[in-house]
Chains A and B, each alone.
Chain A
């Protein structure tokens, strides 16, 4: 609106300095931005992983630099019944614990998603097993499973009088296996429950109202709305849960150390047992490397079977 004769004020542009031009160069920027990430990954991820894989193909022991032996470690393990026992129990431990964690975790998440009194308090309590240090959990369970001082035995023998003798939780192989699974489930439920609760809360309440008007029973609302809407998150949580469980070490090692008679060794504890106390670094590394295919398979399964949902993508017509 001002008179056209008035000259416009123009912001003076300074010529960029040589340094500024250098940092504006795309190639320099790319390298500068990538360097920290690549550096960290190399030092803290790739190097230990690479070293571990390398060791698996050597006969290194503690205190002696080994030589390249090719697949010898793996050939030896293939004929080792203790290794196959650990493979079996790793899979069994992971499968049973995962199923239980998801069944109970989903149930808990559904409960917490209702309007219950003291909701935030209950949520805080649910998180407790998760924030407890694993070793503390292990010690607690070790005590709970103790042949003499077990509280469970006390309840059944002294308080209820239903049994005459104490339980022997960790003394024989199957009770020991299930006892470890119970401890793992107790510890893992909060992660599953809280993650699934977050997933449940992203489901719009009006979908349930629409289903209610469409005549859906509570079970049908769960089956046709909750489950399909939760599946993508379920897949991710399950992938993580499987990886955590399969690679679990602390709980098992602290409670049973793989016993009795190697019946509760999982691959991680066996690898440690052979590698560090046993001194056979190469063999321990080979056991650890043997875990990789299982983890890759579990990840691919949950990613492809559960996570990819066509309705989530804005794809064109069929």
Chain B
């Protein structure tokens, strides 16, 4: 096991700059998820850590050692590819034993290690099959098995679940998390799915356009997004973000609608973006009248698309909502959980909200 560090890592393909100075410190044994929209450079960063792409600038450290010039096989990492990259002409057993075969490990050690990994992943019955004879989930597991037999310092996963169906994905998610709790190997996991990130990570690193937008524990990102991008990316359904201006009376939206701000906190007046998560609206007889547009009952909760004045917002309520489209539903935001962002920079307006929590 080892820690991993990215120090101001840059990458360009020719004149295309893909990563613009990424710095992340990953402590030993942690499960870190790199998340961001497609094309933001997550895979590139992971492949640079693996040694499959050269490093344009900055440093990458594994276990405190700079590995910029270390060839992939000497970095002591194991990677699971998005398409699994199983050797099609080898059985499951040979796929898993390949790295040991290259290292000329003794036969009995090879067999023992393969069986150990197969037992962890429940692959014992499939050892003599070829990849073609396996289902998607089984292939995914073989790819993990191939990584496990290596006993690496760091596991790298590049969107390992994106080729699985929804149900299997949920299952494999908890299986992988459990595996990490058992093995405690430092893991860097890439995904574009913020739910995967939230459920699996010790630390989430949110990336956009080759920049790290915020890094921290999942709930911290959820509770205190550092900027508009993270606010909109983390959480489903996404946070309501409304443009307008802070005034002495509250937050005035473009159409004149007034949204309440915390009473004690009075941020400096000026244009800003008002953020409130759907689940932080509550039904309140004294609240603002909101016109119901669409009601989506999900059993455990109800998602409602509302219009406050002219401002469209989404609300999620634990209660069952009997209202029909066109009805008026009085709601109010939980004032302790209102976020304000600078409209120009997208940064969180911190001091105001700090006071709210105090």
User: Is residue A311 within 8 Å, beta carbon to beta carbon, of the partner chain?
Assistant: yes
- Given known pairs A204-B83, A209-B52, A210-B81, the reply for A215 and B130 (CB within 8 Å) is no
- Given known pairs A206-B83, A209-B81, the reply for A214 and B102 (CB within 8 Å) is yes
Q: Which of B12-20, B72-80, B181-189 contacts A (4 or more CB under 8 A)?
A: B72-80
User: Is residue B120 within 8 Å, beta carbon to beta carbon, of the partner chain?
Assistant: no
Instruction: Say yes or no: A312 contacts B132, CB within 8 Å.
Output: yes
Q: Which of A90-98, A105-113, A221-229, A242-250 contacts B (4 or more CB under 8 A)?
A: A221-229
CA distance A209 to B130 in the complex (A): 20
Choice from B81, B103, B133, B150 contacting A315 with Cβ under 8 Å: B133
Q: How far apart are B82's CB and chain A's nearest CB, in angstroms?
A: 8
User: Is residue A133 within 8 Å, beta carbon to beta carbon, of the partner chain?
Assistant: no
Query: What 0/1 readout, one digit per residue, does chain A (293-318) give for beta carbons within 8 Å of chain B?
Result: 00000000000000001111111111
Which residue of chain A has the shortest Cβ distance to B88 in the bound complex?
A311
User: Is residue B323 within 8 Å, beta carbon to beta carbon, of the partner chain?
Assistant: no
**Secondary structure type dominating chain A contacts:** helix
CA distance A213 to B87 in the complex (A): 13
User: Is residue B99 within 8 Å, beta carbon to beta carbon, of the partner chain?
Assistant: yes
CA distance A213 to B130 in the complex (A): 21
B129 cross-chain contacts in A, Cβ below 8 A: 317
Instruction: Say yes or no: B83 contacts A212, CB within 8 Å.
Output: no
- Given known pairs A224-B98, A312-B132, the reply for A212 and B85 (CB within 8 Å) is no
User: Is residue A46 within 8 Å, beta carbon to beta carbon, of the partner chain?
Assistant: no
User: Is residue A216 within 8 Å, beta carbon to beta carbon, of the partner chain?
Assistant: yes
Most chain B CB within 10 A, of A209, A309, A312, is at A209
B87 cross-chain contacts in A, Cβ below 8 A: 207, 210-211, 224-225
Q: How far apart are B100's CB and chain A's nearest CB, in angstroms?
A: 9
Q: How far apart are A133's CB and chain B's nearest CB, in angstroms?
A: 40
CA distance A215 to B70 in the complex (A): 13
Please, could you name 29 A-B residue pairs with CB atoms under 8 Å apart, sorted by A?
A206-B81, A206-B83, A206-B85, A209-B50, A209-B52, A210-B79, A210-B81, A210-B85, A210-B146, A212-B51, A212-B52, A213-B78, A213-B79, A214-B73, A214-B99, A215-B73, A215-B103, A216-B73, A216-B102, A220-B102, A225-B87, A229-B88, A229-B89, A309-B89, A311-B89, A312-B88, A312-B132, A315-B133, A318-B128
Q: Which B residues lie at the A interface, using CB under 8 A? A: 50-52, 72-73, 77-79, 81, 83, 85, 87-90, 98-99, 102-103, 128-133, 146, 150
